[in-house]
Structure 1
Amino acid sequence: MKKSFLLLISLFMVLGLLAACSPDKEDTKQDNKDNDGEATTIQIVMKDDNSSNPVSEPYFDAIEKGLLEDENIKVNFELVDLPQGNYAEKLNLLLYSGEIPDMIYFQGGDQAIAEQGLLEDLRPYIEDSKYLKDIIQPYNEQRLENYPYLLWVKPLAPKVPVIRGDWFNQMETSAALMENPTVDNYYAFFKELVEKQPGGNGKPAYALTVAGDIAEIDFTFDMAFGINQTWLKKDDGTYEYARVSQQQKEKLEFYHKLYADGLLDPQFLTKQWDTKEKAFYDSEAAVIPGTAGKVIDIYDGKMVQVNGDDASLVLLPPAKGEFQGYGATDVTKESRGIAISSQSENKELVFKILDYMASPQGQMIDRFGFEGEHYNIVDGNIELTDKYYSEWFARFWEPVEFTSPTPVSEKTPLLGESASKSLEDAQEFYAEDNSFIIPEEYVANWDAMQNLYKEFTTDVITGKRPISDFDAFVEDWYSAGGEQITEYANETLK
């Protein structure tokens, strides 16, 4: 009995000693992670980066290497593939399935996700950042205050129209268009392109193509028709929605004329961004809208590759009328951008990555691509290659003011002439919109009203309905919820 008691006491003492000498389970896990150099896996979903893109893997490998060397952060990026099709729709299907990556690029569809509390408020992170807080613009700040879930640090980048230079130079109407870009001069220019067919063999078949709807054309023509904000102030001091205004009716008449006269691509409704661009490169369409800045450079590089140096792009001006510009800038929220999942276990680490991409080292990776492929170092300067101009784009940030750690050769500027001018024009014609985030109680009606608008405009442009039906459409729009949202707008915009 006494022997058994002594054995029991000895057992408790050994167990107590082991417990005292053993670290906490979580501490052990962390120590092992630190000691063996295990990388943290960060899941990312991006529109243009996936397993089928040959550039994606080496690009994110370069970021992994930079993070380790410059910030002592060890991560392993895991790209999430989405099925082909509408990016916003496919992304939301993924997120609603419960698979929520750590870092998410949105191009629409984010508001419903944010309203469920699935996206992180980025403001406190930016306030404590090393680099990002110094490069965001006033319009970024306004958008973050209104909607703190998306970040997109880029120059103002409306959709701007471009045409290959060799065709532009053959048109007798080109000079008049550039000197005085009225709606009538635009029509004359489009008509001459189709009639003269400077490409020969029936090319171009039409003057203008867009991807799916008229939104891209609106950047060029809205302000000329007097649509300078989302809510237009009437003579009596009240506001009406621009898409149900007399100005909109006049613009739709013009669009229908383009379509009826064979100047607007008859298949514009079924075009996606890739088939729109293919029509441009294949000389089926003379003019396409593209995002100002780097996208225009990519268009230019590919056009020159296919059709020679003389085909280098010319930027066309915004149409001039009651106003002139590429549309008002929405400051309610970012229309696209990068978000951090609120469900991620690595939120702070994800933001450190976003912050690193704003650093000089991160910008070298993001802005210039791969040495020996997209650029070479010659006499201490960066010389960009043809492949850079035709292929490379920054996935993350493009500060308005950027000084490269390694100087860029004057022979190969970051942006070509047309691309640079597109950003300059965006700043020159800057106008702030008066739109606002639609309150949740109106969202369902608002979506239905937008669909009503898109259906009607499509029917008018393609001739399925006459423009004389515009008043009936306006009545339907107000009945579908327009009265309530217009009342809310007038209270908000006082």
Structure 2
Amino acid sequence: MKSKYVYGLNMILISALMTLSACSGDTNEKGSPSPSEPAKEANSQSSTPTNGKYTPAIEVSTVRYTDAGFKFKDGESLDKNIWNGIFEDELGIKVKNMWVVDKSQYNQKLNVTIASGTLPDFFEVDKVTMQRLVDEGALEDLTAVYEKYGSPFAKKTLTVDGGAAIKASTVNGKLMAIPHTASNGGVASTEMIWLRTDWLKKVNLSPPKTMDDVMKIAEAFSKMDPDENGKNDTYGLAINKEMLQNFGSVRGFFNGYHAYPDYWVKDASGKIVFGSVQPEMKVALQKLQDLYKNGVLDKEFSVKDTNKILEDVNAEKIGLIYGHLWDPPGKTYDINYLKVKDAAYPLWQTYPIVSVDSAPVKVQANPTAETFFVVRKGVKNPEVVVKLLNTYLKKYIETDYSGSVNPFIAKDGIFPAKFAPVQLESPNLNLEAWYKVVDALKTGDGSKLDFPASVHFDRISKFRNGDYKMWYSDRTFGPEGAFKVIDQYDKQKTFVFDEFISSPTPTMVDKLSTLTKMEMEVFTKIIMNAAPVSDFDKFVEQWKLSGGSKIEQEANEAYKKNQGN
């Protein structure tokens, strides 16, 4: 399994052998010279803000990337689109791209630009690059300008995750970036239980309220012939060979035992510790081994990837899965629904992850921001990035387009919102849309819904009118859909983020991929009863001796530094 701490390591340090001559001929995609120096000159001119608009207009530079999802009207590009006119007319800001490349080339191109010493005024980076530039003193502290210029709506949007994204953008107590938050992180990224309710009824059991209930349901699904074909060919719980990611993960299962694999969590002393080597993991591994020995888990799970799990779902061999809210749209539950569309109840239903004891479950959530907008040190108007963001949010999200067309929403494959040089989504964008959809379904009138609520209302309406292929939308955005679970997590704040939000430490870079491989091998052997559960203790000892202790030391040093201590 590829550790998330290895992500972006190609962005850590550029070799000293990279010469500036390799960059002196740097051009943009059209072959014109880099406008970085002219942009700096324009930025240094005297300009007086009047009613929030710079007079005369100022010019600022950035760098951009595109991908296969970028489509433009004739004559438009990232250099010329709807946002250029808005920013110049309303703010007096001219944004110029030093270069534009495909997303796959962005990190490499940015490395060259950084090495050349011709940084744009603002640009997007990952966590590793942000930390590196902070250490080099190359970035502006945005604490004061964010506080002064950030609109109430922008601040609300950037803290809807409880402040996790702002925290990830903060180093030594200073806000060093504006986080590029996304709607697929935070509480929306948590796992939940997907359960076949028709099987549940056949084995005469109720939805799970405790981990003991989960164990009972899993055993019944494997032993009581829930598909009624007279064969012992069903499994109680799906698990893929990667174990902690993708469809068929058991990360949520571990969370039910208050275990947090591959996450850093606080211990009683306030230090952060690595979840994979904590005692709670041993308890959960024992339970999975019990299920395996009892025939509840597929004996071949260690060689089955996500696609194989999907095949088992379609073959109706699986009735219990830990998954995400997006699993129905991206998977094939609807195929099963079509087979029993006359049933009086939904085939698959979502439920919150349950606890092994009276303590509430804390479900692991992915970061709400993995990239960040930073400002070059010495820029005359560092507040520009905040002003651009304010206007982007006002135009795209904050403005009520009910009864009219939002000009920034996708039409004919063109999505102008993506063209803005500074952008983000609320981590709760889809949760907020769910509230709107549920209310509209009560009256049957979705005419005043905005995007994306309007899309989901339309799909659910089609489902209710007999289009069973739209079943997945009802299971996700319907009143009893997956977002009902997400709403519960959000209201009760029963989700947690990784406490380690710095860039990878030196020993992480050197050792963590090897330690992760060892972790997966030991866990798999224990679950498959090829090793006793007591081997977990040996694994923890070996993990620490093989670099884990040094990683914990470095992680805590970085944690304290990030907290401003």
Q: TM-score, normalised by structure 1?
A: 0.61
The alignment status of 1:172 with 2:234, answered yes or no, reads no
Structure 1 residue 340: Cα displacement: 3.5
Q: What is the match of residue 324 of structure 1?
A: 360
Question: Of the candidates 135, 141, 145, which is equivalent to residue 157 of structure 2?
Answer: 135
- Residues 315 and 199 (structure 1), Cα distance of their counterparts in 2 relative to 1, 3 Å cut: farther
Q: What is the match of residue 523 of structure 2?
A: 457
Assess if the C-alpha contact under 8 Å between 1:445 and 1:480 holds in 2. no
Structure 1 residue 251: Cα displacement: 1.0
Structure 1 residue 244: Cα displacement: 2.4
Q: What is the match of residue 71 of structure 2?
A: 57
Structure 1 residue 349: Cα displacement: 8.0
The 5-angstrom pairing of residues 467-478 of structure 1 reads: 467-478=533-544
- Letter of the 1:251 counterpart: A
SS at match of 1:44: strand
Q: What is the match of residue 249 of structure 1?
A: 282
- Residues 320 and 342 (structure 1), Cα distance of their counterparts in 2 relative to 1, 3 Å cut: same
> When the two structures are aligned, how many residues end up with a matched partner?
413
Structure 1 residue 219: Cα displacement: 4.4
Assess if the C-alpha contact under 8 Å between 1:211 and 1:276 holds in 2. no
Question: Of the candidates 414, 425, 443, which is equivalent to residue 396 of structure 1?
Answer: 425
- Letter of the 2:181 counterpart: W
SS at match of 1:339: strand
Q: What is the match of residue 212 of structure 1?
A: 242
The alignment status of 1:315 with 2:350, answered yes or no, reads yes
Assess if the C-alpha contact under 8 Å between 1:357 and 1:396 holds in 2. no
Structure 1 residue 343: Cα displacement: 8.1
Q: What is the match of residue 198 of structure 1?
A: 227
For residues 488 and 395 of structure 1, what CA distance do their matches in structure 2 show? 31
Assess if the C-alpha contact under 8 Å between 1:222 and 1:327 holds in 2. no
The alignment status of 1:113 with 2:113, answered yes or no, reads no
Q: What is the match of residue 440 of structure 1?
A: 505
- Residues 198 and 245 (structure 1), Cα distance of their counterparts in 2 relative to 1, 3 Å cut: same
The alignment status of 1:145 with 2:145, answered yes or no, reads no
Assess if the C-alpha contact under 8 Å between 1:446 and 1:481 holds in 2. yes
- Residues 81 and 483 (structure 1), Cα distance of their counterparts in 2 relative to 1, 3 Å cut: closer
- Letter of the 2:534 counterpart: S
Comparing 225-234 with 57-66, which one deviates more in the overlay?
57-66
- Residues 441 and 69 (structure 1), Cα distance of their counterparts in 2 relative to 1, 3 Å cut: closer
Structure 1 residue 44: Cα displacement: 2.6
Assess if the C-alpha contact under 8 Å between 2:64 and 2:100 holds in 1. yes
Comparing 114-123 with 346-355, which one deviates more in the overlay?
346-355
- Letter of the 1:172 counterpart: V
- Residues 134 and 120 (structure 1), Cα distance of their counterparts in 2 relative to 1, 3 Å cut: farther
Assess if the C-alpha contact under 8 Å between 2:198 and 2:347 holds in 1. no
Structure 1 residue 366: Cα displacement: 9.7
Question: Of the candidates 170, 191, 212, which is equivalent to residue 160 of structure 1?
Answer: 191
SS at match of 1:221: helix
Aligned identity (percent) is: 12
- Residues 399 and 247 (structure 1), Cα distance of their counterparts in 2 relative to 1, 3 Å cut: closer
The alignment status of 1:271 with 2:295, answered yes or no, reads no
- Letter of the 1:425 counterpart: Q
Q: TM-score, normalised by structure 2?
A: 0.55
- Residues 104 and 237 (structure 1), Cα distance of their counterparts in 2 relative to 1, 3 Å cut: closer
SS at match of 2:482: helix
Structure 1 residue 488: Cα displacement: 6.9
The 5-angstrom pairing of residues 258-297 of structure 1 reads: 258-260=291-293, 261-263=295-297, 266-267=300-301, 271=305, 280=313, 283=316, 285-292=318-325, 295=326
For residues 172 and 143 of structure 1, what CA distance do their matches in structure 2 show? 46
- Residues 281 and 263 (structure 1), Cα distance of their counterparts in 2 relative to 1, 3 Å cut: same
Q: CA RMSD in A?
A: 5.5
Question: Of the candidates 218, 236, 256, which is equivalent to residue 224 of structure 1?
Answer: 256
Structure 1 residue 248: Cα displacement: 1.3
Q: What is the match of residue 50 of structure 2?
A: none
Q: Deviations over 1:285-327 (max 9, x none)?
A: 43444444xx267359x63477346656411221222333243
Q: Which structure carries more helix by proportion?
A: 1
- Residues 396 and 431 (structure 1), Cα distance of their counterparts in 2 relative to 1, 3 Å cut: closer
- Residues 250 and 134 (structure 1), Cα distance of their counterparts in 2 relative to 1, 3 Å cut: closer
- Residues 402 and 452 (structure 1), Cα distance of their counterparts in 2 relative to 1, 3 Å cut: same
Q: Deviations over 1:418-453 (max 9, x none)?
A: 232122222214255683456835434662544433
Q: Deviations over 1:319-361 (max 9, x none)?
A: 222333243668xxx4643333768999988776655553353
- Residues 198 and 207 (structure 1), Cα distance of their counterparts in 2 relative to 1, 3 Å cut: farther
Question: Of the candidates 213, 223, 226, which is equivalent to residue 185 of structure 1?
Answer: 213
- Residues 317 and 265 (structure 1), Cα distance of their counterparts in 2 relative to 1, 3 Å cut: farther
For residues 281 and 411 of structure 2, what CA distance do their matches in structure 1 show? 49
Assess if the C-alpha contact under 8 Å between 1:161 and 1:316 holds in 2. yes
- Residues 354 and 242 (structure 1), Cα distance of their counterparts in 2 relative to 1, 3 Å cut: same
The alignment status of 1:423 with 2:461, answered yes or no, reads no
For residues 234 and 388 of structure 2, what CA distance do their matches in structure 1 show? 45
Structure 1 residue 186: Cα displacement: 0.9
SS at match of 1:133: helix
Gaps of 5+ in 2: 1-36, 43-60, 415-422, 454-476
For residues 91 and 276 of structure 1, what CA distance do their matches in structure 2 show? 34
Q: What is the match of residue 337 of structure 1?
A: 370
